[in-house]
Amino acid sequence: MDALKKTPLYDTHIALSGKIVDFGGWALPVQYSSILEEHKAVRERAGLFDVSHMGEIEVRGSGAFEFLQHMLTNDLTGMQPGRCRYSPVCYEDGGTVDDILVYKHSDDRFLLIVNASNTEKDYEWFASHAPKDVIVENQSASWGQIALQGPKFMRVLEIAGTRGDIPQKNYTFTENFSVAGIDCMISRTGYTGEDGVEIYCKAQDTPKLHSKLMEAGKEVQLLPCGLGARDTLRFEASMPLYGHELSSEITPKEAGLHFAIKTAKPEFIGREALLEPEKRTRIGLKLIDRGIAREHSDVYLNDSLAGFVTSGGVAPTLGGNYAMALVDSRLANEEFFEIDVRGRKIKAQKVALPFYKRSN
């Protein structure tokens, strides 16, 4: 594993007995105790994730706003400083470069949070399209990032001690903030389907921030959580994951992300392709027969191939096994499908997405 990239929390993971795996070139813990226990902690109490591998790309300059309007499928018009917005980034053919979170500091300064494995590709993509009045800077190495997620997250912050306004609304952030005396930026965002925050700090401050939050979390029995729980949580909340529900071969429209595709905007990369009706549609399936449908399993309707599974597995909070699948749009309203699992056809019923939605 020597060739793997390490986040500033690598030694922390080892000290907490994290089971380290190669995640797209990063040495990260898949779990510390148990994926199911960690999943449960986030749904019921609180969990702490190292997401320092995520990429941070700053876009600044007098043309920054116009540039992003051209690069993103979502529309940043009317977006206030201190707000976050989700957006896919597309190729001309509608295929997805990445799906990202945009933090607006001002009309001429934005921070893009991109998927770890796409950081270099995204940087190249943005930098190669940037006009003279825009600077694109890959700041990933200087940032650490920790996600504090779960219904008790506020109590953990309270105990840790904060200075500055805790963002009250979803998809807002506070820039000059501090947690346990550590300077950071904090946003009311996450990737678990629970309430919570993501905290950005200097790379070198990340271990201290993590240990302060671990300590503060004792009262609510917070657990450190690995990539395994991050995946089951986002899967249950039916959030797309790049490389699975989205890719250069899958458009955000096929993935059902219509809310973030603003074709009313006169121009952006991929617009023409995204005006076309999608040929495939992402659907949710609940397995009726026993078994687990994994990614890439074929999905059938009356013995003819209808599509394939993009993510599948156990939904720990709901109970039972579920799958997200990309199927022929003409078949997307059918109710019963079959999924090929090791040569056996397993019955599955279409269910609404998201599978899990928190009550509040």
Partner 1 sequence: MTPNDRKYTKEHEWVKINGSIAEIGITDHAQQALGDIVFVELPNIDDTVSAGDSAAVVESVKAVSNIYTAAEGRIVEVNESLDERPELLNENPYENFIFKVEFTKVDENALISAEEYDAFVESEA
3 state DSSP class of 34:
coil
Instruction: For partner 1, give the closer residue by CB, 66 or 295.
Output: 295
- Decide if residue 135 touches partner 1 (CB under 8 A): no
**Beta pairing class for 280-287 and 321-328:** antiparallel
Q: Tell me the two tokens of residue 110.
A: 């934005």
296 binds partner 1 (CB under 8 A): no
Q: How far is the CB of 316 from partner 1 (least distance, A)?
A: 8
Chosen residue from 209, 291, 331, 348 binding partner 1 by CB under 8 A: 291
* Paired tokens of 245: 């529900």
Tell me the CA distances in angstroms from 165 to 83, 278, 351, one per residue in order. Answer: 14, 42, 39
Residue 288, interface with partner 1 (CB under 8 A)?
no
Residue selected from 130, 314, 331, 339 as contacting partner 1 according to rule CB under 8 A: 314
Among 18, 26, 27, 31, binds partner 1 (CB under 8 A): 31
Q: Is 351 in the site for partner 1 (CB under 8 A)?
A: no
Number of residues that bind partner 1 (CB under 8 A): 18
Pairing of strands 47-50, 223-225: parallel
Is-contact 283 322, C-beta < 8 A?
no
- Binding partner 1 (rule: CB under 8 A), the pick from 9, 28, 35, 332 is 35
CB 250 within 8 A of CB 95: yes
Q: Work out how close the CB of 72 gets to partner 1 at its nearest, in angstroms, rounded to a whole number.
A: 33
- Which range touches partner 1 (CB under 8 A), out of 153-161, 194-202, 228-236, 275-283? 228-236
Which residues does 233 contact at the CB level (< 8 Å), separation at least 6?
Answer: 39, 42, 43, 149, 191, 192, 193, 194
Q: CB-wise, 37 or 137, nearer to partner 1?
A: 37
User: With respect to partner 1, which residue has the nearer C-beta, 290 or 357?
Assistant: 290
Of 19 and 265, CB closest to partner 1: 19
Distances (CA, A) of 44 to 12, 49, 321, 357: 24, 16, 20, 13
Binding positions for partner 1, rule: CB under 8 A:
19, 30-31, 34-36, 228, 231-232, 290-292, 294, 313-314, 316, 321, 342
